[in-house]
Amino acid sequence: MELERWSEIVRKLEEVAKPDEQGYSAPDGQGGQRHGSWVVDYLNATPDLNRYVRFSITEMVNQDYKQLLVIEAGAQSPDGTQNHSFPAFEEGYPDLEAVIYDIEPILAPKLSELMEGANTIKIEELKSVPFYGS
């Protein structure tokens, strides 16, 4: 996917979902390519809790679909030692045109729903994150 295409998708998503109205912003602007996926993170940070929603598209090879779209949500302590997340939205798409077609009726409402859900997470719900370092 080209950066211009990704920017178009994020712009349309934000026009409909309006993350700023729910207290979210994208610290990295429209995000970008990370670990083989195109990703934008929306963050609603407070002194004791960082709520987040991540929207990503991964181009797939040898699958029934060509684009895997995932929206994840949760909250984390500012130091990263505690976390709480809940089931994400995941859908395979044949092409980017199908993703763009679904922004208004499906994807933006799902993004908003997950932001609302993340906004309800309380610090008491966080669980310790295991450390796997040496």
79-90 mean pLDDT: 85
Tokens of 90: 């995941």
Task: Return the DSSP state at 59.
Answer: E
Residue 48 has pLDDT above 80, yes or no: yes
Higher pLDDT, 86 or 59: 59
With cut-offs at 50, 70 and 90, classify the pLDDT of residue 132: low
Higher pLDDT, 133 or 79: 79
Q: How far is CA 1 from CA 5, 20, 110, 112, in A?
A: 7, 26, 23, 25
36-62 mean pLDDT: 90
- Give kind and range of the element (H or E) at residue 39: strand 37-45
Residue 112 has pLDDT above 90, yes or no: yes
**Percent of the chain surpassing pLDDT 70:** 96
